[in-house]
Structure 1
Amino acid sequence: MTVEFRVLGPLEVLLDGEPVPVPAGRCRVLLATLLLRPNKFVSVDELVDRLWDGEPPTVDRANKTLHQTVLRLRQALGAANCVRTTAGGYLAEVGRNELDLLRFRELARSGDFASATELWRGAALANVASESLHRDEVPLLEDERLVVLERRIDADLDRGLASELVAELSLLTQQHPLREHFWAQRMSALYRSGRQAEALECYREITALLADELGVDPSPELRQLHLAMLNGEATAQTERSRQVICQLPPDTANFVGRESLFREVAAKLTASDDGVPVVVLSGAPGVGKSAFTIRTAHRLRDRFPDGQLFVRLNGAGAAPRDPAEVLGELLVALGVSITGMPDGLEARTAAFRAQLADRSMLVVLDDAVGPEQVRPLLPGIPGCAVLVSSRQRLVQIEGAHGLRVPPLSREDGFSLLAGVIGESRAATDRDAVGAIVNACGGLPLALRVAGARLAARESLPLRSLARRLSDERRRLDELTTGDLEIRATFGPSYEALPADAAAAFRRLGLLGSTDVASWAVGVLAGGDGERLVERLVEANLLDEVGLDPTGEPRYRMHDLLAVYAAELVRDEDQELVTAAQRDYVEVLLTLADEAAQDWFAADDTPKRPITRSKLLEPAEIERLTESRGKWLLAEMLNIDRAIALCLDHHWVESAENLLHRALVYLDVYLPHERILQVCERVREVALAEGHDLIAWRSHLRLTSQLVTRNVSEEVIAEYARCVDGFEAAGAQAELAVALGALAYYKMLHTGQPQIALAERAVAAARASGEPRTHASALRELGTMLATEGRHVESVRVFDEALVLSRKIGDRNDLAMVLNRIGSSTLASGDLERASAASREALDLISALGDDRGAAYCTVLVSQVDLALGDASAALIGAEKALSIFEALGERRGSIRALAVAAEADLALGMVEKVIDLATTALENYADAGDTAAEERLRAALAEAKRRV
C-alpha cells in the first residue's frame, strides 16, 4: 500500500494511485494545516483558530467541533489516515516519500531544482477554503517555490539555454514585477540570445517600475549587470562582476556516510531566515570534523556561486591563529591590495564585511579555538554563510546552529573499512568486518588505522584482527600502524591533566561510555565534580552532550576514550578502585531512594531500608532529585549498569534495593525484555548467594512484569509459586502482596472472584504491620466482593482501605483505592460516587506523572462518562488511554480502552466503526487475558450488527 499526500497545488490524497476523497470545509482545512507542518505537533488552540477562521462561539463547542472533524477526517482517509493524537494536539505522521512538500524540500536541498519545481501542480491548496491559511501559510510556500525556481533558471542559464528561457522569464516578470532577480535573469537571457537592445530596455523598464512603486533604485546586482552589458562584458562567463574564489582543500578520498548530517547542515546554511547562517560542527577527537567540513563545503559550491573561503585556525595546536592576521589573508584573496589593507582587527573586520556585502559566499573556518576567534570572521548581512569546525561547541556565538559530528554508523563504518581493504576482501568475512567496526566505535581514524593494517598484510585473516580488537585490554595496542596511533591521539591530552582531573578521567573508565552528571565524576574521583568536568571538557577528553530531563548537564566519553581510561584505571590500586565503585553505588542508591520517595506501587512489596550515603550534602541530594521521576529517567541506563556492577561484586542487597527503587517508575521506560533480564539475574545471583527472600522478591517483580503483556495460566502459576515461597520464608508483607496479585489476576482470567485468596492476603497484611500493604490487600478484597455483587460489604471494606490510605498520605496508594471504589460503585449504579472517586484518582495519578496508571484511571472515567450519557467525552478519554497503552505495549490496558471506545461509538450511532473496531480488537487482543473486556467487546459487536 502506497500513500501520497499533495499540497503543492490542490489538496489531494492518493492511495495506491487512486484519489481518496477529502470532505470539503473543515476536514480539508485540518488536513492541510497538519500537512504544512509534517511530523510536527500542532496544538488544539491553533487548530481551533484555523478551523473557525475567527473567534469560535465557546471553547467547549470549538473543542467538540475539532474532535468531530478529526473523527470525520480519519474515517474519510481510511487506510491513508496519517492523523495522530498527541498530548494537547495532533500531528500528521508522513514519510519523506509520502508528501510532495517534503520531496520538494529534499530535492531543493540536494540541488535538483528542476525536479523540485516540477512537483508544483498549480496554486498551493487551491481547493481549501480558509482565509487564514491562504493569508498566513500559502505565501510562505509560494516564496519557497520562487526561490527554487530562480535557482533552476540560474542553472538553465549556465547550461546555455538562454533562448528557451526568454518567454518564461517575460511571464515571470509580469507575474512578479518587483522580484528583481527574475529581471536580472531575463536581461541575461536576452543578452545571451543576441537581443542586447531588448535586454537594455528591460533595465529601463524595471528602473521606472521601482521608482514609481517604491521610490528606490535597482539593486547592485541589476546595476552591475547593466554596466557590464553597456561595456560589452556580460558573457556567459563574465556576467558576475567579481572573480569566483575557491580556497577549499582537496576532498577526502573514500569518504562515507554523513548524508543525514549533510542535509541538516545544508538546510541550515541555505535557510532563507533573516541573518547570516552559522553552523558549528563539533565532536570527539578523531571523529572526522575537518574531513566532513571540507566535504560539505565542496558539495555546497553551487549554492554559493561567488565562491568559498577556507582558513585553518589551528585551534587544537599550541598557537591558534590571530583573527586579524586571518582577515588580512582573506582580504587579499578578495582583491584588496596590500597597500590598501586597513590596520587593526575592527577595521579589517569592517573591510571584510564590506567585501562580502553583495556576494554569495561560504566562509569555512576549520578548527576554531573559541568564539573570540570566530566572531570577527563572520559576514555582516545575509547572502553568505559560515561553516565552522571546532573541538568546542561555541554556543557563545549568537545565532549559531551547533551540530555534533557523531561516530559513523555500523553500515558506514563497514563501507569505510571495505573501501580501504577492498570490497572483495571485506565480503569474505562480513561478520569479522562488523566486529572490527564495532571495536573502533565508529571513529574514522581508528577505522583507517585498522584498514591500513589489513591492507599492509593481505594474508592476515579478518577474523584474527577482530579477535584481537575484542579484548579491550589490547585494543589500543592493535589500533597502531606506522605514524597512525589512536593512543597517541589521546595520550598527550591526558598527560597534561592535573592529578585530580587525571584521576577523574581514569575513574570514568569504570563506567564505560555512558552519559554522566558531574556528581558522578566527583564521587568516583573524590573531588569537586563540576571543576573536574570543566577540566576534562577543556582537554577534549569529555564531551558535553546537553541537558538531561532535570536540566542537569550531561557528559560522555567516546567509546575508545572510555577504553583508554579503563586501560589506565587497571593500573591503580584495586582496593581504592573498589572503594570508589562502592561509593558510587551508595550515592546512586541514596539519590534513587530520594527520587522514588513519592512512588510506591500499592501492589508491590515494601521497600527494604537502606543506609544513606553522606558523600553528597543533603541540599545537593534534594536539588538533584527535585524533579523525582525526571531524575530517574536521566539515570536510567546508569542505574541498569550499577545493578550489574553490584551483581558482579556480589552486592546482592544493593542490587535489589536499587532495582526496587528504580523499577517502580522506570518499568514503563526501560525495554520490557531488559527488565525481565535484570529481574532474572538478581534472582539467580540472590539464590546462589543464599538470599532466598531477595530471590523471591525478584521473582515476584519478574512475574508482575510478565502480567502486563497477558494474563495466562502460566503467569498465574508463577504468582502461586511466589505465595508458596513467601509463606515458607515467613515474609508476611510479601505474602500479602503475592496473594493479592494472585486473587486479582485469577479473577481477571477466570471471571470468578477469589474471595478466599483476598481474605488470606488481608490476614497476612495485618500480621505484617505494613499499613500500605494492608490498604492494598483491603482494596483487592473489596474488588472481589464487588465482583460477586456483595456491594454493601464491598463498600465497607473499601471505606476501611480509603481511611487507611488517606492516613498514610501516599498519593499513588490513595489513587489505586479510589480507582477501585469508582469501578465498584459504577457496577452498583452509584454514579455520583463513581464519578467523584474516579476523577479524584485520575487527578492524583496524573500529578505523579504515572502514564500507565493515568491511562487506567482515564478508562474508568470514560466508563463513568458513558454511564452518565456523555458518549463524546467517553470516546475522547478512551482514545487517549489507548494511545498510551499502545506506546507502553500494555495489551491488557489496550483491550479495556478499546471496549470503552466501542461502547462510546455505539452510543454515538457509529455502528460500522464499532463493527470494524470490535472485530479487530477481539482478533488482535485474544491473548490479553481480560475476560470482562472481551465480553463487553462481543456485546458491542453483537448490538452493532443488530442495528445494521
Structure 2
Amino acid sequence: MASGRIRTDGRSDERRILPAGRRPPAVSGTRIRFRLLGPFEVEIDGDVVDVGRPRQQAVLAALAIVPYRTVVIERLITTVYGADPPPTAKAQVQICVSALRRLFAGHGQESMITTRPGGYALRAADDDVDLRRFEALVAEGRARRGDAPEAAVTAYRSALALWRGPALGGLDSEAMRAVAHRLDEQRLAVIEECIDLELGLGRHRDVLIELTTLAAEHPVREQLQGQLMLALHHAGRPADALEVYHRTRRVLVDELGIEPGPRLRRLQRAVLAGRTSLDIPPPKPGGDVTHGTPPEAAVPTPRLLPTDIADFTGRDAEIDAAGSALTGAPDPGVVPIVVVSGRPGVGKTALAVHLGHRVADRYPDGQLFADLRGPSGRPADPAEILGRFLRVLGVPGMALPEGTDARAELYRHRLAGRRMLVVLDNAGDERQILSLLPGTPPSAVLVTGRQRFGGLPATAYVEVGLFEPRTAMDLLSRMVGAERVAAEPEAAATLADLCGHLPLALRIAGARLVGRPHWTVEHLVTRLLDQGRRLAELQYGPWGVRAGLALSYEGLSGDARRLLRRLAVADFGHIRSWMAAALLESDHAGASDLLDELADARLLDPDAGGRRYRLHDLVRVYAGERLRAEEPGPEQAAALARVLGGLLFLAERANRPHAEGDITISAGVAARWALPDEVTARLLASPRTWLDEERHTLTTGIRLAAEANHTALSWELAYAASWVFEEQADVEEWRMAVEVALGRAEAAGDPQGQATMLYCLGSAHLFQQRYDAARRPLERAAALFRHSGDEQSRALPLRNLAYLDRLRGDLDAAAARYTEALALLRRGPYPVGVAYVLHGLARISLERGNGEAALRMLEEALTLSRQGGTRRVEAQVHCRLGELWLSLGTWDRAAGAFTEALAALHDVDDSVGRVHALRGRGIAYAQSGRRAEAAEALGEALQTAARIRNPLLQARCLVALADLALAGGDWRPARAHLYQALEHLRAVNVPPDKEHVLALLAKVEAMAAG
C-alpha cells in the first residue's frame, strides 16, 4: 500500500485496491463514491475497487457524470467505441452493464444501475460524485462572491481541492476526452474566478506561485496572464509584469496570429504609467476563460439565423421541449445542447430556425448558424465552419490559425462568457459537431440531424415525426387558402396521404398549387397517383423530396443501398431481418446490421420492439426508382422468390402442429428458402402469434407472387395460410387472396394449383356460411383432383361437400360423400383426417336415430384424434359424443362430454369449437334441471358467437335460450330469442334450422294468443 496525501476531510487518502467483485469486510452502510476529477476511480468504504476492463470503466464513467439521469444506449456505444462501432456494440455495452451490476451487487448495492427507456441511469447521490460536489461548491461560491467574498473563496477552494489531476484520467475514448477537456476548462474558469476574488482581497503575494505555474501551463489564456500581471505589479514587480505581457503577446502573434485583447493592453498601459491601483474590472463569473474581455468590447454581435417561416405550423410539443432545454436553468458549468432528430424532409431545419428566432432575446450576444451539409451534399469541413464563425466573431482572415484544433481553441476563446446560440443544422456525425461546441456556458447549442448523436453530451433529445392528418391539413390551408382546401376536403386529405404527411412534400405540393391557381387539388392528386412520377411531381424550384432521399442514399454503404432498393421488391409494408437476409441472400446478423444502418439514416422506421422496420411511402417510391435503374430484372425476380420462399417455409412450419395427422394437399414445385434453425425457432416460438401477426404479410405475398408470375409460390402460400384465416372470424382478405392465386393458376394451366385454390375458395365460403357459393368450387376441386389422379387430396373437398349436404337435410348424399372420403383417407397415414370424417358420419347416424353406430364411430374417432395429437379434432369428437348422450337422454354423461371438449380446447384458439361445447353443456344442464348453470353456459356461448360474428351459431344459441325459457314456462323471452334467431338465419341458407325456428315460433305465438 502506498501512502497518499492528506484529504480535505481530515482522513488519510491511503486506500486499498480491491479486486473486481470482491466484497469488503463489512457491507453494512456501504458508501460508494465516484471520482471523476482526476484518474477515474470508484471508492467503496474508503477502498478503491477495480472496476474491470476499460470498456466497463468508460460505461460507468458516462453514467457517473450525470447521476440519476438517463444515458441513452447510443451515447454509451459512442463513449466506448467512437463513431465507428462494431455490429456487436449494443450487446457489448449490455454485457458491461451486467458486469458492473454484479460488481455492485457484491457490495450489497444491487440496484446501483437501473434500466430506463432507451438506456441506463446510475443511482448515486450528488454527494457521492466528486463532480457534482464540485459543481455545488462552485455554485455556492458564485452566489456568495458579491456579498461575502471570503466565504466565496472558501467555497471555491473547497471545490478545487477535489481535483486530483486532469479529469477522467485513464479513459482514452474520443468521447471521454471531449468530456474531460470540458471539465478541465471548467476547472480553469473556476480558478480564474477564485483568483479574481483573492486579488480583490489583497492576497497578491499568496497567489503568485500558483499564478506563475498556471500562466506557464496556459500561455494563450489571457485571463491568467492578466491576473499574473496584476499580482506582480501589486507585489512591487512592474518589470516582471511587463515581461509577462510581452511574452504573452509573442505567443499570441506567433501561434494564433492575433494581438492581445483590450483588457491585457489596458493592463500594460497602466503598468507603464506607474499607476498604483489597477482597477480593471474582472470578467463575469463563468466568463471569458482566455481574454476576460467584456463581450461587447471584444467582438461584434452576429445574427446568422436564416429567415423564419411565416406559416410555421404545429410542433408545439417539440418547440416547448427544445425551448425549455435551451433556456431553462442549466447545470452549473454545463453548456445546454439540444439535439433535434428526424427523417429527411420532416422539418428539422424549419423547427430549429423558428425556435432560434423565438429564443433569440435570451441570447443577446448573437446567434451563429451553419449548415453542416456542404453544397455538394458532402459533410462540411468543421475547419471551414470555424473559419466562418471566427470571421464574424471579429478575427481577421489573415489572423485565422491553420487546423481544426487551433481554430476550435480560438473559437471557444471568443465565445467564453458570451450568451450566444449556436445552431448546427444537418449534422452528419459527432466528429463534425464536437469542435463547434462552446467550452463554457452561458452559450447554448441546437443541433439538427437524422441521427440522435448519442455520443454528444446532450441535455435533451427531441424527435420530430410526420405530421398528424389535422396538422397536414392546417399547413395546406395556410399555404393554399382555407377556402380552396375546404372546397375539396377529400382530395386534400388524399393529397396529404400521397405526400406521406411529410412536411417537405406537403410544402412542395402547396407551393405548386399556389403557383398554379387554375389547378384543382384533385388535379394534383391525379398526377401524384402515378408512382413512377410522384417524386418528379414533388419538386418545386430548388426544393424536392428526391434530393434529400438521394443524399441519404449516397451516404449508405453499398450493401445498405442494395437492400434499400430490394425493399421495393418485397412491398409487404414492413420488413424483418430474415426478409432482408433473403433479399440479399446473406446471413441474418449482417442483414440485421444493414437494417440498423438504414434506420440510422432515417430511411426505415423500427417499431417499438425493434423486430420490424417500416418504409415510408415516399422512401418506397424512391427505392423503386433506384431498383429499376440499378437492378437487372432477373435479380429482382430471384430476390422476390427467396423472400416468398422464406415466407412459405415459415407458414408451413407454423401450420405443422395444426395439420399433424391430417391429410394435406401434395406440394407443388415452389422452392422454399430455408431459414436457420435458431431463427426459425425464435420466430415460431408461438406459431399462433406468428400467423396472427403475419396475416397481411401472407396475403400480400400471395398477391406479389401472382403479379410476378411465381405461380406455384402464389397458390402454395395461399394453401399454407389457410389455417390462420380459417381461425379468424373475418376471412374476406384470405378469400380475395385465394381468388388472386386461382387466377394465376388458371392462367398458367396448373391443374394442381387450380384444384387446391378451388378447395380453399370453397372452404372460405363455407366458413363465411355462404353455403350456396361454397358448393360449386368444392365440386370443381373434387373433379380436378380426380382427373389429376390425386385421389387422397380429393377427400378434402368431399368431406366439405358432405357437410353442405347434411346442412340442407340431404343425409343420404352426405353419408355417401363421407363414406367415399373415409375410404380414401384410410389408405394413408391420416388418423386425424379419418377421425374428422368419422365424427361427421356419427352425426348423421345420430340424426337418423342410430345411436349405437354413432357411438362406435365416435369411440374410434376419439382414439384416432388422440393418436394424431390434434386437440381441436379431439374436442369436436367430444362434442359429437355429447350430442349422442343428449339424444339418449343421459344428461350427466352429455355434460361431461362437453366439459371434456372444453378442456381439450383450453390451449387451442378455436372460438367456433368453444361455442359448440358451451352450447351443448348448457343444453345438458337445462335438461337436468340446472337452470342457472345452463343460462350461464348459453350466455357465454352466445357472447362468443357474437364476438366472432357467426350468425348460424348465434341463432342456435338463441334457440337453446328460448328452449330454456319455455321449460320455465316464460314464453316472452323465448319469443324475443326466436325472432332474433330468425334474423340471424336470414344471413345463411340452412333450411333445417330455419324450419325448426319457425315451428317453435308458431308454438310460442299460440301460447301468447291463448
Offset, 1:513: 6.5
Partner of residue 835 from structure 1, selected from 864, 874, 895 = 895
SS in 2 for 1:608: coil
Q: Is the Cα–Cα contact under 8 Å of residues 791 and 824 in structure 1 kept in the other structure? A: yes
Query: What is the CA–CA distance in structure 2 between the aligned matches of 1:901 and 1:351, rounded to whole Å?
Result: 77
Aligned to 2:939: 879
Aligned to 1:512: 571
2:631 matches 1:556: no
SS in 1 for 2:761: helix
Query: What is the CA–CA distance in structure 2 between the aligned matches of 1:408 and 1:889, rounded to whole Å?
Result: 33
Change in CA separation of 1:861 and 1:465 when aligned onto 2, cut-off 3 Å: same
2:601 matches 1:542: no
SS in 2 for 1:806: helix
Q: TM-score, normalised by structure 1?
A: 0.58
Offset, 1:282: 7.5
Partner of residue 648 from structure 2, selected from 577, 589, 599 = 589
2:591 matches 1:529: yes
Q: Is the Cα–Cα contact under 8 Å of residues 643 and 673 in structure 2 kept in the other structure? A: no
The one-letter amino acid paired with 1:621 is T
Query: What is the CA–CA distance in structure 2 between the aligned matches of 1:504 and 1:479, rounded to whole Å?
Result: 24
Offset, 1:942: 4.8
Offset, 1:931: 5.1
SS in 2 for 1:514: coil
Aligned to 1:456: 515
Offset, 1:568: 1.0
Offset, 1:449: 0.6
Query: What is the CA–CA distance in structure 2 between the aligned matches of 1:603 and 1:944, rounded to whole Å?
Result: 47
Aligned to 1:755: 815
Cα distance per residue 1:434-463 (max 9 Å; x no partner): 554343222222121122123223345655
SS in 2 for 1:389: strand
SS in 2 for 1:849: coil
Change in CA separation of 1:296 and 1:599 when aligned onto 2, cut-off 3 Å: farther
Query: What is the CA–CA distance in structure 2 between the aligned matches of 1:715 and 1:850, rounded to whole Å?
Result: 22
Q: TM-score, normalised by structure 2?
A: 0.54
Query: What is the CA–CA distance in structure 1 between the aligned matches of 2:551 and 2:749, rounded to whole Å?
Result: 49
The one-letter amino acid paired with 1:506 is R
Change in CA separation of 1:677 and 1:428 when aligned onto 2, cut-off 3 Å: same
The one-letter amino acid paired with 2:617 is D
The one-letter amino acid paired with 1:739 is L
Change in CA separation of 1:826 and 1:607 when aligned onto 2, cut-off 3 Å: farther
SS in 2 for 1:596: helix
Q: Is the Cα–Cα contact under 8 Å of residues 954 and 984 in structure 2 kept in the other structure? A: no
Change in CA separation of 1:546 and 1:866 when aligned onto 2, cut-off 3 Å: farther
Partner of residue 880 from structure 2, selected from 820, 828, 831 = 820
Change in CA separation of 1:559 and 1:942 when aligned onto 2, cut-off 3 Å: same
Aligned to 1:709: 768
Aligned to 2:745: 686
Q: Is the Cα–Cα contact under 8 Å of residues 859 and 897 in structure 1 kept in the other structure? A: yes
Change in CA separation of 1:374 and 1:887 when aligned onto 2, cut-off 3 Å: farther
Q: Is the Cα–Cα contact under 8 Å of residues 644 and 701 in structure 2 kept in the other structure? A: yes
Q: How does 1:910-921 map to 2 (within 5 A)?
A: 912-921=972-981
2:557 matches 1:498: yes
2:850 matches 1:790: yes
Q: How does 1:461-472 map to 2 (within 5 A)?
A: 465-472=524-531
Aligned to 2:53: none
Change in CA separation of 1:911 and 1:430 when aligned onto 2, cut-off 3 Å: same
Query: What is the CA–CA distance in structure 2 between the aligned matches of 1:330 and 1:830, rounded to whole Å?
Result: 95
Q: Is the Cα–Cα contact under 8 Å of residues 716 and 742 in structure 1 kept in the other structure? A: yes
The one-letter amino acid paired with 2:550 is G
Query: What is the CA–CA distance in structure 1 between the aligned matches of 2:939 and 2:1004, rounded to whole Å?
Result: 21
SS in 1 for 2:607: strand
Query: What is the CA–CA distance in structure 2 between the aligned matches of 1:601 and 1:906, rounded to whole Å?
Result: 44
Query: What is the CA–CA distance in structure 2 between the aligned matches of 1:731 and 1:919, rounded to whole Å?
Result: 46
Structure showing greater Rg: 2
Query: What is the CA–CA distance in structure 2 between the aligned matches of 1:648 and 1:498, rounded to whole Å?
Result: 31
Q: Is the Cα–Cα contact under 8 Å of residues 695 and 724 in structure 2 kept in the other structure? A: no
Aligned to 1:699: 758
2:838 matches 1:778: yes
2:750 matches 1:677: no
Aligned to 2:533: 474
SS in 2 for 1:592: helix
Partner of residue 692 from structure 2, selected from 616, 633, 638 = 633
Change in CA separation of 1:773 and 1:665 when aligned onto 2, cut-off 3 Å: same
Partner of residue 463 from structure 2, selected from 390, 411, 420 = 390
Offset, 1:295: 10
Query: What is the CA–CA distance in structure 2 between the aligned matches of 1:559 and 1:480, rounded to whole Å?
Result: 16
The one-letter amino acid paired with 1:920 is Q
Change in CA separation of 1:607 and 1:862 when aligned onto 2, cut-off 3 Å: farther
Q: Is the Cα–Cα contact under 8 Å of residues 865 and 871 in structure 1 kept in the other structure? A: yes
Q: How does 1:59-74 map to 2 (within 5 A)?
A: none
Unaligned segments of structure 1, at least 5 residues: 1-247, 270-278, 302-309, 335-347, 353-362, 379-387, 392-404
Q: Is the Cα–Cα contact under 8 Å of residues 469 and 475 in structure 1 kept in the other structure? A: yes
Q: Is the Cα–Cα contact under 8 Å of residues 951 and 984 in structure 2 kept in the other structure? A: no
Offset, 1:938: 6.1
Q: Is the Cα–Cα contact under 8 Å of residues 655 and 682 in structure 1 kept in the other structure? A: yes
Moved more, 858-867 or 565-574: 858-867
Query: What is the CA–CA distance in structure 2 between the aligned matches of 1:545 and 1:747, rounded to whole Å?
Result: 48
Offset, 1:559: 0.6
Query: What is the CA–CA distance in structure 1 between the aligned matches of 2:755 and 2:863, rounded to whole Å?
Result: 31
Q: Is the Cα–Cα contact under 8 Å of residues 872 and 908 in structure 1 kept in the other structure? A: no
Q: Is the Cα–Cα contact under 8 Å of residues 903 and 940 in structure 1 kept in the other structure? A: no
Q: Is the Cα–Cα contact under 8 Å of residues 574 and 612 in structure 2 kept in the other structure? A: yes
Cα distance per residue 1:870-928 (max 9 Å; x no partner): 33333333333333333333222222233334445566787644443332232243333
2:628 matches 1:570: yes
The one-letter amino acid paired with 1:738 is P
Aligned to 2:152: none
Q: Is the Cα–Cα contact under 8 Å of residues 727 and 909 in structure 2 kept in the other structure? A: no
Partner of residue 897 from structure 1, selected from 927, 937, 957 = 957
Change in CA separation of 1:253 and 1:351 when aligned onto 2, cut-off 3 Å: closer
**Percent identity of paired positions between Structure 1 and Structure 2:** 27
Cα distance per residue 1:98-128 (max 9 Å; x no partner): xxxxxxxxxxxxxxxxxxxxxxxxxxxxxxx
Query: What is the CA–CA distance in structure 2 between the aligned matches of 1:511 and 1:657, rounded to whole Å?
Result: 18
Query: What is the CA–CA distance in structure 1 between the aligned matches of 2:481 and 2:902, rounded to whole Å?
Result: 62
Query: What is the CA–CA distance in structure 1 between the aligned matches of 2:508 and 2:515, rounded to whole Å?
Result: 11
Cα distance per residue 1:260-314 (max 9 Å; x no partner): x99x99xxx9xxxxxxxxx999764434578799999999x9xxxxxxxx99999
Please report the RMSD computed on the Cα atoms of aligned residues, expressed in angstroms: 4.9
Change in CA separation of 1:502 and 1:718 when aligned onto 2, cut-off 3 Å: closer
Query: What is the CA–CA distance in structure 2 between the aligned matches of 1:712 and 1:489, rounded to whole Å?
Result: 55
Query: What is the CA–CA distance in structure 2 between the aligned matches of 1:667 and 1:458, rounded to whole Å?
Result: 53
Unaligned segments of structure 2, at least 5 residues: 1-304, 326-337, 360-366, 374-378, 387-407, 422-437
Change in CA separation of 1:482 and 1:676 when aligned onto 2, cut-off 3 Å: same
Query: What is the CA–CA distance in structure 1 between the aligned matches of 2:503 and 2:970, rounded to whole Å?
Result: 59
Moved more, 667-676 or 500-509: 667-676
The one-letter amino acid paired with 1:826 is L
Cα distance per residue 1:115-173 (max 9 Å; x no partner): xxxxxxxxxxxxxxxxxxxxxxxxxxxxxxxxxxxxxxxxxxxxxxxxxxxxxxxxxxx
Query: What is the CA–CA distance in structure 2 between the aligned matches of 1:867 and 1:480, rounded to whole Å?
Result: 75
Q: Is the Cα–Cα contact under 8 Å of residues 823 and 860 in structure 1 kept in the other structure? A: yes
Query: What is the CA–CA distance in structure 1 between the aligned matches of 2:769 and 2:314, rounded to whole Å?
Result: 42
Aligned to 1:286: 345
The one-letter amino acid paired with 1:806 is R
Query: What is the CA–CA distance in structure 2 between the aligned matches of 1:818 and 1:602, rounded to whole Å?
Result: 18
Offset, 1:540: 1.2
